[in-house]
Amino acid sequence: MSGSARKAHFKDAPGNSDEVRDRILRTASALFYQRGVRAVGVDLVVEEAGVAKTSLYRHFRTKDDLIAAFLQREDEDFWNCWNRVTELHKTDPVAELEAHIDSIGERVGRPNYRGCPQLNVAAEFPDLDHPARRVASAHKQELRRRLKGIAERMRVKRPDELAGQLSLLINGAFVSSQALSPGEAVPLLRATARALIAAARKP
């Protein structure tokens, strides 16, 4: 099906509003992550998605709204993975943290990994009031909150301090993938997390 035919199909088909929105968001998300949000224009998104520009603006008032929706989509995906790990280790906070570390190390070690979407967008938009920057900030605050919850369950003396250290470790891994050898992320993260926990448990 040609691009123009796809546009006509999605524009005219009844009852497909959710499908069109999802198609636009999936396409934009892939382009934003691969190329950066500033490098991707609305024209490229509608061309790749095979929809009319009016369809995009029907679902996303501005490009900024589309960027924020992209980050919200990434946010949901990240926490869905996190929640699955948490469910497996409800009674063992150390095992839960190590499982999260392993999952993050595996993510960072993927060949097509281009960094944390939230950090990438935050770097492109210095304005703290930008809709996407607010989503990114909320994501990082939630990460620290969840890490503090794990630290509290470990009964360390200063759980907020350990949560901050673990947050730095994880976010550092997200931006260091290019400096790591294949297979190096997981053992490095594990060893560092264990050292932080051991230090936090000292009298």
Q: In order along the chain (203 residues), what is the average pLDDT of each group of 10 residues?
A: 45 65 96 95 96 94 94 94 95 96 93 92 88 91 98 96 98 90 92 97 89
The domain spanning residue 40 has which CATH number? 1.10.10.60
pLDDT at site 7? 47
Are 20 and 10 in contact by the 8 Å Cβ rule? The answer is: yes
Alpha carbon distance 132, 118 (integer Å):
8
Considering the domain architecture, whether residues 90 and 159 belong to the same structural domain is answered as yes
pLDDT per position as a tens digit, 122-133: 999 888 888 888
Alpha carbon distance 193, 131 (integer Å):
33
Q: Look up residue 56 and give its two tokens.
A: 């995009």
Instruction: Give residue 36's domain range.
Output: 3-60
pLDDT at site 2? 43
Q: Which amino acid is at 7?
A: K
- Number of residues in the chain: 203
Instruction: Give the end of a domain, one of 60, 84, 107.
Output: 60
Instruction: Give the end of a domain, one of 60, 81, 107.
Output: 60
pLDDT at site 105? 94
Considering the domain architecture, whether residues 74 and 135 belong to the same structural domain is answered as yes
Considering the domain architecture, whether residues 183 and 135 belong to the same structural domain is answered as yes
Which residue, among 93, 172, 187, has the nearest Cα to 140 in the 3D structure? Answer: 172
Considering the domain architecture, whether residues 123 and 182 belong to the same structural domain is answered as yes
Considering the domain architecture, whether residues 33 and 111 belong to the same structural domain is answered as no
Alpha carbon distance 189, 185 (integer Å):
6
Between CA 193 and CA 198, with CA 196 as vertex, the angle to 5 degrees is: 110
Considering the domain architecture, whether residues 91 and 167 belong to the same structural domain is answered as yes
Are 81 and 40 in contact by the 8 Å Cβ rule? The answer is: no
Considering the domain architecture, whether residues 126 and 101 belong to the same structural domain is answered as yes
pLDDT per position as a tens digit, 99-115: 999 999 999 998 889 99
Q: How many domains does the chain have?
A: 2
Considering the domain architecture, whether residues 134 and 113 belong to the same structural domain is answered as yes
Considering the domain architecture, whether residues 186 and 155 belong to the same structural domain is answered as yes
pLDDT at site 100? 97
The domain spanning residue 107 has which CATH number? 1.10.357.10
**Tokens 């050898």, located at residue:** 181
Considering the domain architecture, whether residues 85 and 164 belong to the same structural domain is answered as yes
> Looking only at Cα atoms, what is the longest distance across the chain?
69
pLDDT at site 55? 93
